[in-house]
Amino acid sequence: MSEQGFNFIGGRWVPGDTGRTFEDRNPADRDDVVGMFPLSSAADVDAAVSAARDAFPAWAATPAPERGKIIWAAGRLMEARKDELAATATREMGKILLETRGDVQEGIDTAYYMGGEARRMFGVTTPSELPSKFAMSVRRPLGVAAIISPWNFPMAIPTWKIFPALLCGNAVVFKPASDAPATAYALVRILEEAGVPPGVVNLVFGSGSEAGTALVEHPEVDVVSFTGSTETGRRLGESCGRRLKRLSLELGGKNPQIVMADADLDLALEGAVWAAFGTTGQRCTATSRLIVHRPVLEEFTARLVQRAGALRLGDGLDPATDVGPLVSDAARERVAEYVRIGLEDDGAELLVGGSAPSEGVFDRGSFFEPTVFAGVTPTMRIAQEEIFGPVVSILAVDSFEEAIAVANGTRYGLSSSIYTRDVNAAFRAIERIDAGITYVNGPTIGAEVHLPFGGTRDTGNGHRESGTEVLNVFSEWKSVYVDYSERLQRAQIDTGLPGAAAGGASRGDSGEEAPQGSTPESISGSFGAEGGE
Ligand code: NAP
């Protein structure tokens, strides 16, 4: 058995406790087994968390620029192996090579960004309200970080989490998605090669229900960073809430692209095709609602249908393919079910796609045709629920106001986009769309690693990944006050004396007596009724 069949705990590749395994299969060709991986138990998770706990103090004490060098080295290894990593990711989760290369590139960019951040990680220094007193804030690591990732960005999402967690000085236990274990294995091999000390990164394969639950509930885990469905995220929220455990959630989306009558229609069309059908519609930021101003509805719809119908479905490893398979047969069944639901909705019209081709090579994979519904109204289930497949709905609107209302009319708030040439409308949209990301004249996909990433409402719980915002997930702020006045100074104590509201400000730095008889003794001798803490 190759090392793919092992967990990585305390710097060693070890078999799972129970000997049970699961298969990783190619969704474009079910006969192709990518690898076998352990179905880890709670005992495996416990061993990984213990190893992380043991490794944490030395890693936390390692200067951040030294930690950054290792992250940087991992980026260089990823760059050297980009094609190989992309091919592995395509083979196990299906999206086309162009996109898995982009997925790996996002990981490389994150490595270099976080490696560079190692020499910043800025806190603040700020004036104290009292004389001869210095005030600053510094970041501290939390301890053991649990990383739970989905399969749709098998390289980028784990790096968004693991690199900042390591940079901040935490030790990591990583439980990747069961549909993308081989890419996770390759990433951890790279971290090992880059010089991450034993126990600082641990990898535990297995199911969400068993290994994932054990990890989230483990008392020695200090922070959980999760990306996945809103349903799972809600369960984790309940579990972590009971334990007062820090939890960062990046969840689902139902992302709108607004197309106004004054838009550059060619551009709006390019954006819609890319964002609705890229990654076979399995991006949290995929466009699933096209909100189209009625004057351009007919033309836009006709052209979209033509473009969607012309996309070439196939194996993502074939450079001629535009759209790869869905990740699994279960995912395909879920998408087919939503198409059935759409067909039953009064007024919704299936214009193209809607089927799972099964002839020839399609017989062996989880393929589904790019699908467009028109005549969809905002309350229909296909306009409300995340389908996570190549299905897009067109909703007609009569005004900008209505477009904004429809865009905001779901429980999600991840990404959004507006195509318009009216600069005032663009800025009003930026102001009024309730989402974590808004693009103007660009598709709903394409986030860059140095800006915050995340969403509002049911898309998460207020945290952000990427940018420097992610450091707030993986570190704790400590405020530090250094008083070099050589006497007791008390903040926020009102002495009742004019000019002495900042109690203790009775002497200047020169040590001269303050006016109006306020002496250090007279202040320190009486405990004020007001205090900050
Ligand atoms: P999922 O079913 O929620 O799974 C995500 C991860 O959680 C997997 O590793 C899964 O393990 C694990 N898991 C499942 N149940 C668990 C539990 N009870 N306790 C702990 N871990 C558990 O989501 P998915 O289907 O893989 O991913 C698709 C969803 O992710 C979509 O809703 C998409 O919008 C969302 N997503 C969001 C973002 C974002 O940044 N906002 C980015 C990408 C994807 P198994 O694989 O073993 O089940």
Q: Is residue 493 very low, low, confident or very high in pLDDT (cuts 50, 70, 90)?
A: confident
Write the secondary structure of 126-185 as one string of H (helix), E (strand) and C (coil): EECCCCCEEEEEEEEECCEEEEECCCCCCCHHHHHHHHHHHHCCCEEEEECCCCCHHHHH
- In the prediction, which pLDDT does 496 show? 56
Give the pLDDT score at 303.
Answer: 98
DSSP state of 514: P
CA of 229 to the centre of ligand 1 (A): 5
Q: Ligand 1 centre and the CA of 134: distance in Å?
A: 45
Give the residue carrying structure tokens 């309200």: 129
User: Mean pLDDT, to the nearest integer, of 422-447?
Assistant: 98
Q: How far is CA 480 from CA 45, 471, 487, in A?
A: 36, 19, 18
Domain 255-457: which CATH number of 3.40.1280.10, 3.40.50.300, 3.40.50.920, 3.40.309.10: 3.40.309.10
Given a cut of 80, whether residue 452 has pLDDT beyond it is: yes
| Average pLDDT of the segment spanning 173-187 | 98
CA 432/CA 416 separation, integer angstroms = 11
Active-site position among 92, 106, 217, 250: 250
Q: How far apart are the first and last CA of the chain?
A: 60
Exposure string over 61-89, b if 16+ CB within 10 A, otherwise e:
ebebeebbbbbbbbbebbeebbeebbbbb
Going from the Cα of 228 to the center of ligand 1, the distance in angstroms, rounded, reads 3
Q: Is the pLDDT of residue 148 over 80?
A: yes
Best residue among 45, 205, 227, 445 to mutate for probing ligand 1's pocket (most ligand atoms within 8 Å of CB) is 227
Spatial separation of the C-alpha atoms in residues 70 and 76, rounded to whole Å? 10
Rounded to an integer, the average pLDDT of 158-173 is 98
| CB of 253 closer than 6 angstroms to any ligand 1 atom | yes
Q: Does the pLDDT of residue 239 top 70, yes or no? A: yes
User: Which residues are CB-neighbours of 89 under 8 A, at least 6 positions away?
Assistant: 95, 100, 103, 104, 154, 155, 180, 182, 183
Ligand 1 and 229: CB distance under 6 A: yes
| 46-97 pLDDT tens trace | 999 999 999 999 999 999 999 999 999 999 999 999 999 999 999 999 999 9
Residue 526: pLDDT band with limits 50, 70, 90: very low
The question of whether 359 is a catalytic residue gets the answer: no
- 46 by Cβ neighbours in 10 Å (0-12 / 13-18 / 19+) ranks as middle
Cα(15)–Cα(523) distance, integer angstroms? 67
Whether pLDDT at 1 is above 70: no
The residue whose C-alpha atom lies closest to atom 14 belonging to ligand 1 is 208
Q: Is it true that domain 3-115+142-251 has CATH number 3.40.50.170?
A: no
Ligand 1 lined by 213 (C-beta under 6 Å)? yes
Among candidates 371, 379, 384, 381, which has minimal Cα distance to 411? 384
Domain residue spans of the chain: 3-115+142-251, 255-457
CA nearest ligand 1 atom 35, residue: 228
Please report the sign of the dihedral spanned by the C-alpha atoms of residue 308, residue 312, residue 317, residue 319: negative
pLDDT digits (tens, 9 = 90+) for 123-133: 999 999 999 99
Tell me, using a 6 A CB cutoff, whether residue 288 lines ligand 1: no
Location of structure tokens 């205090």: 531
The whole-number pLDDT of residue 54 equals 98
Question: Which pair of tokens denotes residue 208?
Answer: 């969400």
Specify the 3-state DSSP secondary structure of 91: helix
Per-residue pLDDT tens digits for 377-429? 999 999 999 999 999 999 999 999 999 999 999 999 999 999 999 999 999 99
CB 441 near ligand 1, within 6 Å: no
Are 3-115+142-251 and 255-457 the same fold in CATH?
no
Give the C-alpha separation, 390 to 368, whole Å.
7
Q: Which residue in 106, 192, 284, 386 is the catalytic one? A: 284
Mutation probe of ligand 1 site: the residue of 284, 387, 411 with most atoms within 8 A of C-beta: 284
Per-residue DSSP letter, 208:
I
Query: Is the four-CA dihedral 14, 80, 108, 196 of positive or negative sign?
Result: positive
Average pLDDT of the residues of the chain: 93
Residue 189 backbone phi and psi in degrees, to 5? -60, -40
Question: Helix crossing, 64-80 with 181-194: angle to 10°?
Answer: 130
Say whether pLDDT at 233 is over 80.
Answer: yes
User: 178 CB under 6 A from ligand 1?
Assistant: yes
Q: Is residue 207 within 6 Å of ligand 1 at its C-beta? A: yes
Q: Output 508 or 477, whichever has higher pLDDT.
A: 477
Nearest residue to 194 via CA among 111, 109, 273, 277:
111
Residue-wise pLDDT tens digits, 192-216: 999 999 999 999 999 999 999 999 9
User: Is 284 among the residues known to form the active site?
Assistant: yes
Label residue 361 by pLDDT band (50, 70, 90): confident
DSSP state of 323: B
Which tens digits make up the pLDDT trace of 289-328?
A: 999 999 999 999 999 999 999 999 999 999 999 999 999 9
| Mutation choice for ligand 1 from 40, 110, 148, CB with most ligand atoms inside 8 A | 148
Our answer on whether the CB atom of 209 is closer than 6 Å to any ligand 1 atom is yes
Residue type, 86: A
What is the model's pLDDT at position 5?
Answer: 82
Identity at 409, one-letter amino acid code? G
